A and B are shown apart, each in its own frame.
Chain A
Amino acid sequence: MNGNGKKKRIGVFVCHCGVNIAGVVDVERVAKALEGYSGVSFSTHYIYMCSEPGQNMILETIREEKLDSIIVAACSPTLHEKTFQSVIELAGLNPYQVEIANIREQDSWVHSDKEKATLKAIKIVKSMVEKVLQNESLEPIRVGVTRRALVIGAGISGIQSALDIADHGYEVLLVEKNPSIGGHMIQLSETFPTLDCSQCIMTPKMVEASRHPNIRILTYHEVESISGYVGNFKVKIRKKPRFVDPDKCTMCADCEDVCPQIVSDEFNMGLSFRKAIYLPFPQAVPGTYTLDIENCLGLLPIRCGKCKEVCEPDAINYDDQETVFEEEVGAVVVSTGYDLYDLNHLGEFGGEKYEDVINGLEFERILSASGPTGGEVRRPSDGKVPKNVVFIQCCGSRDPENHNPYCSKICCMYTSKHAMLYKHHVPDGNATVFYIDVRTGGKNFEEFYQRTIDEDQVLYVRGKVSKVYKEGDKIIVWGVDTLTGRKIEMEADLVVLAMSMVQTDGVNELLKKLRISSDANGWLSEAHPKLRPVESLNAGFYLAGCAHGPKDIPETVSQASAAVAKVGDLFAQEQLLHEPTVVPVDEDLCSGCGICVTICPYSARELDKEKGVVKVNEVLCEGCGACAAACPSGAAQQRNQTDDQIFSMVRAILRG
């Protein structure tokens, strides 16, 4: 029945698809079998329904036969459902009045018994007739768009995203949990394959972001929660107390000089020290000191209070409080970056026991002109210049039995860069690289790697390292050269491990809050691995950088710009259309038990305590139907997939 209680007039169009369907399924018999079946007032077959003559035939037949809805028995709905929806819209019908019976991918292509395939096709078509018979005509749900974006994480991916969105003319909130923007890229020494100084190319971007009128940088802030839906999110942001007013701080360093608390410096990967009140690094944006309350002696002036005493511009405020505030945005770019796999997982390399067994980021700081050794290669334990350096690749990567199964992608190139830069610093030193494979897919990457071998005489040994241990002053590396089959025992002054990249600590908790799915390795999942690589399945969320998987800088920047192009698509729309096949509540049947409220993954359902029934925010509902299955009274019915529709389809399939 249609909305008017009038019996529907349904047309059935069976496609031959050349011989793809007709070669196995007797299409004429299928069309004949549907004649007179409940509600069917017209049934025919044609060689190619999707062709222009086919579409025109459908169009004309709808007009001539005054059809209310149609079934196209053809290929999978993923291919031509949209095509036929447009056709019936041209005929003045609602697009929800067409259903596709999949008799190609799920019948003619998978069965060879013609009789059985034909009977199966008849049942499939009948089941779709039963469905369309009860389909309602629906209009998309329309909502407005807040043209303002949130970017979470301000490394290179977040900064690039924010700059691009801002240049499109939209406002951006750039949230960063650390005291400065810059991420890991600002820690790097030089970047492959061109050896640009990382700080030289990163600092101008950071400054640009800080000066852009459309960007509001919120450092030392964290995203607490996000509610709402695409185009209309409400974000709760937590401001951590910095105890220093960035507007007043002149970076004079007087506070730092008097601070008695010395702690390990995160920016230098623990290779140097900082005070409890500190500037993360000289080019920090915003340029302000931050008081790290965890390491501060205490805010009571009786206990210390030295920094406040010496601060001439009176920038230090011990009464600074943690605050949570709400902002409205329409789109969210998640660019939370990566961490390195914890060295403690690699007991065979001593875990974190040996000072001179370090990870790649620590070596970046040692190589950096602004690093703890002032750009000279000196090892952490005694500050000596190491003469034998062993680089080990794939530490924790490509090892599904013990560690991570995936390739961290950038390590081949940065190890090559590390070995090359080491040789530039210590020309008489020996650099040895243990590798499984060297992967240099990327513009000018292979040439760079060849240079490491040819011009800088770095020794590449194909094989894994089984053990790293200390004997006196020396580090001993046990490995194997798999090309010659020889065991290798080698002395080293410094060992650099290319640690696997992993998802940032704490991001998975954030993801759960954002309802963004991640893969088995913890990386964010894209909406489609090939065709929608920068969007999350959760509408309104976009992915940029390593939070989505290991990437180098050019790739990260490309992905950030691509994600912003998608944000632009969203913001270009006057109104957003939301799929109307949601699960409303029949208030007369709802007992207010609230089971559907707890089951909804989108918080689309809420108990109206006064009326004792559940209210549905249809814009939030994604139409999975989990609540419809759980509703004990049948009050929750999915539009165009009601229980009655499923029952009728089941009956047609089994008895049709």
Chain B
Amino acid sequence: MFEPQIMCFLCKWCTYAGADLAGTSRMKYDPSGINLRVMCSSRIDLQHILYAFRQGADGVFIGGCHPGDCHYVEGNYKTLRRSILFAKMLEDLGISRKRFRLEWISAAEGRKFVQAMNDFTAQIAELGPLNLDKMTLNNQKDFSHE
């Protein structure tokens, strides 16, 4: 059975803490995602997302603070604006926008984090593997960051 790999970028103040809360509350969810903690969701750039897809991610998830709650005043609004562009660019590159998700999850929303993970995993499972890593394996030279 296809087991999706999901790259999760979580903001330190809200969603990462929400994921911790899911842990302290012993909620269970699909282990398909692995989290990378960033100070703010606005640290994430399109190249991080594309790189994750090329390294074999089937889905990319960004978690930030709710609008109005950003630790850095307005970082989440920047993420929101960028993510609209990200989704468009992914489509242009032939990657379904359904493989990218942005969610606002607060430090108090462990339950929402669990639901988001399960839901996104199911969505990616339905889409099937992306296999971008295999497609580009022969052309590794074409890419930097290696």
Contact = CB atoms under 8 A, between A and B. Distances in A.
A650 B55 contact: yes
Given A624-B75, A647-B145, A110 B56 contact: no
B68 A654 contact: no
B39 A623 contact: yes
Nearest to A127: B36
Contacts of A646: 36, 38, 48
Interface in B10-57: 17, 19-20, 22-24, 26-29, 31, 34-40, 42-45, 47-48, 51-52, 55-57
A581 to B, nearest CB: 8
A624 B77 CA distance: 13
A117 B36 contact: no
Contacts of B74: 601
A106 B37 CA distance: 11
A654 B5 contact: yes
Given A78-B17, A109-B23, A651-B55, A638 B43 contact: yes
Given A517-B70, A653-B7, A625 B34 contact: no
Interface of A: 76-78, 102, 104-107, 109-113, 116-117, 120, 123-124, 127, 515, 517-520, 525, 537, 581, 599, 601, 622-626, 628-630, 638, 641, 643-644, 646-647, 649-651, 653-655
Contacts of B23: 76, 104-106, 109-110
B7 A629 contact: no
A420 to B, nearest CB: 40
Contacts of A628: 43, 45
Contact of B28 (A111, A124, A624): A111
Given A116-B31, A626-B75, A109 B24 contact: yes
A105 B19 contact: yes
B78 interface: yes
**Residue in B19, B22, B23 with the greatest tally of chain A CB atoms within 10 Å:** B23
Contacts of A520: 68
Contacts of A127: 34, 36
Contacts of A77: 37
Contacts of B40: 624-626
A106 B113 CA distance: 11
B129 to A, nearest CB: 13
A628 B40 CA distance: 11
Q: Which 7 A-B pairs have the closest CB atoms?
A: A105-B23, A625-B43, A626-B42, A624-B72, A629-B45, A624-B40, A109-B23
28 contacts: A77-B37, A105-B19, A105-B22, A109-B26, A110-B28, A110-B31, A110-B114, A515-B73, A517-B70, A517-B73, A520-B68, A537-B71, A581-B39, A624-B42, A624-B43, A625-B38, A625-B40, A625-B42, A626-B42, A626-B75, A628-B45, A629-B43, A630-B45, A638-B39, A650-B36, A651-B55, A653-B7, A654-B56
Interface in B69-98: 69-75, 78, 82
Nearest to B11: A624
Given A110-B22, A599-B78, A646-B36, A654 B52 contact: yes
B47 A626 contact: no
**Residue in B19, B31, B34, B51 with the greatest tally of chain A CB atoms within 10 Å:** B34
A120 B72 CA distance: 31
A102 B34 CA distance: 10
A166 to B, nearest CB: 31
Contact of B19 (A106, A120, A519, A601): A106
B57 A654 contact: yes
B28 A112 contact: yes
Nearest to A115: B31
**Residue in B22, B37, B74, B114 with the greatest tally of chain A CB atoms within 10 Å:** B37
B94 to A, nearest CB: 19
Contact of B35 (A106, A517, A655): A106
Nearest to B22: A110
Given A111-B29, A651-B51, 19 more contacts: A102-B35, A105-B24, A106-B23, A109-B23, A110-B23, A110-B28, A111-B31, A519-B68, A537-B71, A581-B39, A601-B75, A624-B40, A624-B75, A626-B78, A629-B78, A630-B45, A638-B43, A643-B47, A655-B55
